[in-house]
Amino acid sequence: MTDGWLDDVSRFAAVMEAAQQHLLETQRLKRQALVTGSLTELEQVNEAALQAARRLKALTVWRSRLLEQAHAVGYSEATLSDVLAHSISPIAEQLRGRFAVIQQRFGEARREAWIQWIVAQRVSSCYTDLLDLMARGGQRPLGYGDTQLNQQGVGGAVLDAAV
């Protein structure tokens, strides 16, 4: 690969690292907002997350362009790290190391996103249960409580609300 292409890949890595830092900071703030239950902060963080997503989307276009340039000179690899593996230069090795760290950080960001999704789903389920409890005036749902059938080991009955 040419030095110009390696320079472009180096700039891409620097911008990707900055975008990752922004993403990880956004996730940290989002976790804080979820823990404190601050809707105002959560709305602001969601806006920042949307901006981070747009920035990362733009970076995928840049990455694709870099890979197309590599394909134009005969490389058929699917990742920049694989293309860089063909070059025996200190710059290429340094870039491969940076991309390994970038991959690791994206794994951390993915895990954090899953944790936040699970927390949000559990909170939603809790609020749903509370609303159901309030709608029933504090009573248990019909057919699923301590009925005579359930004490005998038989399953619950499904009752029509109109009955």
pLDDT along the chain (163 residues), means of 10: 87 95 92 87 90 91 94 89 89 94 93 89 87 82 56 50 48
Q: Residue with structure tokens 């404190």? A: 36
The region that residue 56 occupies, defined by phi over 0 for left and psi between -120 and 50 for alpha, beta otherwise, is alpha
Tell me the domains of the chain and their CATH numbers. Answer: 3-142 (1.20.58)
Query: CA-to-CA distance for 16 and 59, rounded, in angstroms?
Result: 7
Residues in the chain: 163
Distance CA 69, CA 59 (A): 15
pLDDT at 78: 87
- The per-residue pLDDT for 81 is 92
Residue with tokens 């990880």: 24
- What pTM value is reported for the model? 0.72
Long-range contacts of 112-117, Cβ-Cβ distance < 8 Å, separation of 24 or more? 112/24, 112/27, 112/31, 113/27, 115/31, 116/27, 116/30, 116/31, 116/34
Residue 162 phi, psi dihedral angles, 5° rounding = -80, -15
Alpha-helix residue ranges (DSSP H) falling in the chain? 3-36, 39-72, 80-84, 90-135, 148-151
